[in-house]
Amino acid sequence: MGKKRFRRRNENKNLIELFEEFQLENKTKNLSPKTIRSYENNLILFFRFIELEGLTSPSDIHKTVLEHFKRWLLDKDVKHTTINTYLRHTRAFLYWCMGEDYIEDFKIQLIKIDEPQKEPYTDDEIKKLLSPPDLKKCGFVEYRNWIMVNFLLDTGVRLNTLINITVSDVDLENGIVLCSTNKNRKVHYVPISDVLIKLIGKYIKTFDLEKDMYLFPNESAEQLKSRSVQSTISKYNYSRGVYKTSIHAFRHTYAKNYIQQGGNSLKLQRLLGHSTLDITQKYVNLYSNDLKEGYDDVSILNKLNKKNNGFNRKR
């Protein structure tokens, strides 16, 4: 954060009251209900900590307090990734307090962790997952789950985006899907392949899905819940002999395939709906080693070498 001259407000407000103001402002910014709840859930331990320490006034909060908070969480054997989740939300609130001149400026850093690499699905696993069921005999749920897996692999959308897509969001004529629910709440369009266009078209026609219905509803034609989809995918994968059950792995698989096919990071950023290129770059860095795969087939030197049966040195 940039340095500024500190002007402490004279208003006699405690941290709980400031948090209520912070949340009110978040609502006026039209942040999603899920984001609003996440601040409430992830700041519970911070408020518990400052209560134990007897800290109620904004003027009590400084860098050392946050360092003690980190140590307190570590001593409770909280996972490092979870601690950083708490810290990100706490940081957003405290930075807001700093911006409003309730707290003196200081930088809040996350704890350093070695992030485990999320494994994408292998080609063998993908073949198992995409193997079609008996479409003439299977019921709605099995058919829907198969289409859902095809959709995840072809688009790389997030879970929260998937469950909010309606039939009217799908433009089969132009091969485009409108995705209006993602982390930054910005509308973006995702292209779908000719193969998926045909699959979705037949799926919609088979079950007579109306335009105002969710594309992947439950059996009562209602919206699927996130946990329900996670459980569904887990069971689906196990039934296909695939014991990797991460929904986010579909997104990694999509990104890896795109990078391997020579796609550029700017377009990938738009396809994945990332707010900044930095996030997309993580995918590029993660799978950059895989760029060697198949490179010999497209190398201009190899191409010329094969055409001339080798570069023969004159003696």
Helix (H, G, I), strand (E, B) or coil at 75: helix
Q: Is the pLDDT of residue 5 over 50?
A: no
- What number is the average pLDDT over the span 289-306? 55
Mean pLDDT computed over every residue of the chain: 82
Between 285 and 210, where is the model more confident?
210
pLDDT recorded at residue 313: 44
Among 236, 231, 238, 283, smallest CA distance to 260 is for: 283
pLDDT tens track for 242-283: 998 888 888 888 877 776 666 555 566 666 665 555 555 555
Q: Which residue has the higher pLDDT, 117 or 90?
A: 90
> DSSP for 95-163?
HHHHHTTSS------PPP--PPPPPPPPHHHHHHHH----TTT--HHHHHHHHHHHHHHHH---HHHHT
pLDDT tens for each residue of 121-131: 888 999 999 99
d(CA 223, CA 229) in angstroms, rounded, equals 10
CA distance 59 to 6: 12
Question: Rounded to 5 degrees, what are φ and ψ at 124?
Answer: -65, -40
pLDDT of residue 311: 44
Whole-number Å distance between alpha carbons of 307 and 315 = 21
Element (H, E) at 21: helix 15-28
| Contact yes or no for 197/172 (Cβ under 8 A) | yes
pLDDT tens-digit readout, 155-203: 888 888 899 999 999 999 998 888 876 555 567 788 888 999 999 999 9
**Amino acid 303: pLDDT:** 55
Long-range CB contact pairs, 267-270, < 8 A, 24+: 270/188
Place of tokens 């939300």: 89
Whether residue 89 has pLDDT greater than 90: yes
Measured in degrees and rounded to the nearest 5, phi and psi for residue 42 equal: -90, -5
Residue 30's identity, in one-letter code, is: N
Domains of the chain: 15-99 (1.10.150.130), 123-291 (1.10.443.10)
Q: Is the pLDDT of residue 297 over 70?
A: no
Tell me the pLDDT tens digit for each residue of 27-55: 999 888 989 999 999 999 999 999 999 99
User: Any idea of the CA torsion for 169, 208, 233, 288, to the nearest 10 degrees?
Assistant: -40
pLDDT of 4: 46
pLDDT at 197 (0 to 100): 94
pTM assigned to the model: 0.57
pLDDT at 93 over 80: yes
Structure tokens at 266: 């700017």
